[in-house]
C-alpha cells in the first residue's frame, strides 16, 4: 500500500507533544482522512465529483467535511451560485493539504526508485494565465528534455496570486507577460526572456470577408478577437489600433488565449499570436498570416526571488529562451 493509500484509508490523528515548550498540547482531533476528502473536493470542484472519484456517497463526503469545519471552527467552502468556492480559510487549508499529499506521493515514488537512483529535482512553475500555452510549452522544454530532466509542477493562475505563492517560496519562478508590478510588496526580481512582434492571423475561410488592402489597412472594419482589456497585451493592442487609426469590428474580448485562437481557427475573427510561434500557429490552426506588427511587442519574463538565478531548472529555461526561442528578436 502506497503513502497516498495510507492517507486515504487510515485515521491518523495528529498528536503534538513538546517537552521543550512551556505549553502542553493535547491530541488534536483531526485526521488525514478528513483532510484528504476536503482536498479532493477542492481539487475536483465539487462533492459529487469527489464522491465518484473516491467511490463514496456524497453524504459521506459532506459529513466528513462538516467534521473538518467543526474542527477548524470556520467554514472551508461557500456557495457561489450552484458551485462551491473556497473561503479564505479553505484556500489556506488547501495550500497546506496540497503540500502534504504531494509530498506523500513524492515519498511513495522516491522509496520505490532503484537503489542509487538520484531523486529528481522539482521545479515549481507559476504560469500567469495571460501567457500563451504554446509559449509556455516551448519555454518548459529545456527543463523536460535536458540531460537531467526535472520534475516540473505547474500552477496557472492570476499573476498577483502567483506572486503571493512565490513570496512564501511555494514556487521557484513565475512566467509572465509583464514585469513585476510596481508598488507590490513582494521581494522579487524580473528576468526578461525576450520580446516578439505580434502577428495578425485569419482562418482561410474568412479571407473573402476581409478588404483587399495591404496590412494593416486590411483590419479596417474586420471582425477582430481581442485579448481582455485588463491584460497588458490587450491595452497595448488598443493603443496600437489607435496609433494606426484603425477601427476593426471587435467581436470578442477573450481572456483565455487558447480560446481566442480556437475561435479564430473557426473563422469568428482575426486573432493575434507572437511571431515566435508563427510556424506553430500556421500548422496547428491552419491560419494565414495577414501581417506582422513590428511596433506591437509581446514581452515575456521570468520572475524569481533570486536576483542572480541559481536554481538549475530556472537557469535552463532562461538560457534556452534567450539563446533560442527569442534569440532572433533580442538582437
Identify the pLDDT of residue 58: 92
Identify the pLDDT of residue 168: 83
Identify the pLDDT of residue 119: 66
Identify the pLDDT of residue 7: 38
Identify the pLDDT of residue 3: 36
The answer to whether residues 210 and 283 touch, using CB atoms and an 8 Å cutoff, is no
Identify the pLDDT of residue 113: 67
Question: Could you give the CA distance from residue 199 to residue 182 in angstroms, rounded to a whole number?
Answer: 29
Q: Is 88 left (phi over 0), alpha (psi -120 to 50) or beta?
A: alpha
**Could you list the pLDDT tens digit for every one of the 331 residues in the chain?**
333 443 343 344 444 344 444 444 344 466 788 899 999 998 888 899 899 989 999 999 999 999 999 989 999 999 887 788 899 999 899 888 888 887 787 677 667 767 766 667 889 999 999 999 999 999 999 999 877 778 899 999 889 889 988 988 889 999 999 999 887 778 899 999 999 999 999 999 999 999 999 999 999 999 999 999 889 999 999 999 999 999 999 999 999 889 999 999 999 999 999 999 999 999 999 999 999 999 999 999 999 999 999 999 999 999 999 999 998 876 6
Identify the pLDDT of residue 162: 93
Identify the pLDDT of residue 104: 80
Residue 310 DSSP class: -
Structural class in CATH, domain 195-298: alpha beta
Identify the pLDDT of residue 124: 94
Burial class for 192, CB neighbours closer than 10 Å (0-12, 13-18, 19+): middle
The 3-state secondary structure of 22-63 reads CCCCCCECCCHHHHHHHHHHHHHCCHHHHHHHHCCCHHHHHH
- Encode pLDDT of 188-224 as tens digits: 999 999 999 999 999 999 999 999 999 999 999 999 9
Annotated domain spans of the chain: 3-111, 122-194+300-329, 195-298
Question: Could you give the CA distance from residue 255 to residue 161 in angstroms, rounded to a whole number?
Answer: 16
Identify the pLDDT of residue 116: 66
Q: Among all chains, which residue has been given the C-alpha cell 528578436?
A: 329
122-194+300-329 with 195-298: one CATH topology?
yes
Q: Which residues contact 148 (CB under 8 A, 6 or more apart)?
A: 121, 312
C-alpha cell at 92: 489556506
**Distances in whole angstroms, Cα of residue 226 to Cα of each of 11, 92, 200:** 52, 35, 11
Nearest to 211 by CA among 202, 220, 201: 220
- Encode pLDDT of 29-75 as tens digits: 667 888 999 999 988 888 998 999 899 999 999 999 999 999 899 99
Q: Mean pLDDT across the chain, nearest whole number? A: 86
Task: Give the residues across from 223 on adjacent strands.
Answer: 249
Domain 3-111: which topology? Arc Repressor Mutant, subunit A (1.10.10)
* CATH architecture designation of domain 122-194+300-329: 3-Layer(aba) Sandwich (3.40)
Residue 14 DSSP class: B
Residue 183 DSSP class: T
Identify the pLDDT of residue 118: 64
Identify the pLDDT of residue 19: 42
Find the distance separating the first CA and the last CA of the chain, reported in whole Å. 55
Amino acid at each position: 500500500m502506497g503513502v497516498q493509500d495510507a492517507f486515504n484509508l487510515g485515521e491518523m490523528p495528529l498528536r503534538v507533544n513538546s517537552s521543550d515548550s512551556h505549553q502542553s498540547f493535547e491530541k488534536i482531533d483531526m485526521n488525514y482522512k478528513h483532510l484528504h476528502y476536503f482536498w479532493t473536493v477542492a481539487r475536483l470542484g465539487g462533492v459529487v465529483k469527489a464522491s465518484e472519484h473516491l467511490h463514496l456517497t456524497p453524504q459521506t463526503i459532506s459529513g466528513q467535511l462538516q467534521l473538518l469545519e467543526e474542527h477548524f471552527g470556520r467554514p472551508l467552502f461557500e456557495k457561489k451560485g450552484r458551485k462551491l468556492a473556497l473561503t479564505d480559510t479553505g484556500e489556506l487549508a488547501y495550500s497546506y493539504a496540497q503540500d502534504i499529499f504531494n509530498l506523500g506521493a513524492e515519498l511513495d515514488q522516491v522509496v520505490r526508485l532503484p537503489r542509487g537512483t538520484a531523486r529528481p529535482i522539482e521545479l515549481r512553475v507559476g504560469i500567469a494565465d495571460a501567457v500563451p500555452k504554446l509559449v509556455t510549452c516551448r519555454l518548459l522544454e529545456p527543463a523536460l528534455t535536458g540531460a537531467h530532466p526535472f520534475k516540473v509542477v505547474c500552477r496557472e493562475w492570476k499573476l498577483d496570486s502567483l506572486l503571493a505563492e512565490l513570496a512564501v517560496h511555494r514556487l521557484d519562478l513565475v512566467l509572465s507577460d509583464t514585469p513585476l508590478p510596481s508598488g507590490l510588496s513582494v521581494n522579487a526580481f524580473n528576468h526578461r526572456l525576450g520580446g516578439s512582434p505580434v502577428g495578425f492571423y485569419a482562418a482561410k475561410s474568412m479571407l473573402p470577408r476581409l478588404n483587399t488592402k495591404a496590412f494593416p489597412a486590411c483590419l479596417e472594419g474586420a471582425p477582430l478577437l481581442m485579448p481582455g482589456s485588463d491584460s497588458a497585451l490587450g491595452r497595448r493592442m488598443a493603443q496600437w489600433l489607435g496609433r494606426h487609426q484603425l477601427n476593426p469590428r471587435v467581436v470578442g474580448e477573450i481572456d483565455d488565449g487558447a480560446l481566442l485562437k480556437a475561435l479564430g481557427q473557426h473563422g469568428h475573427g482575426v486573432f493575434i499570436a507572437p511571431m515566435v510561434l508563427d510556424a506553430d500557429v500556421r500548422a496547428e490552426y491552419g491560419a494565414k498570416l495577414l501581417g506582422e506588427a513590428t511596433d506591437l511587442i509581446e514581452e515575456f519574463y521570468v520572475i524569481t526571488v533570486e536576483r542572480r538565478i541559481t536554481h538549475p531548472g530556472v537557469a535552463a529555461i532562461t538560457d534556452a529562451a534567450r539563446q533560442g526561442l527569442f534569440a532572433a528578436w533580442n538582437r
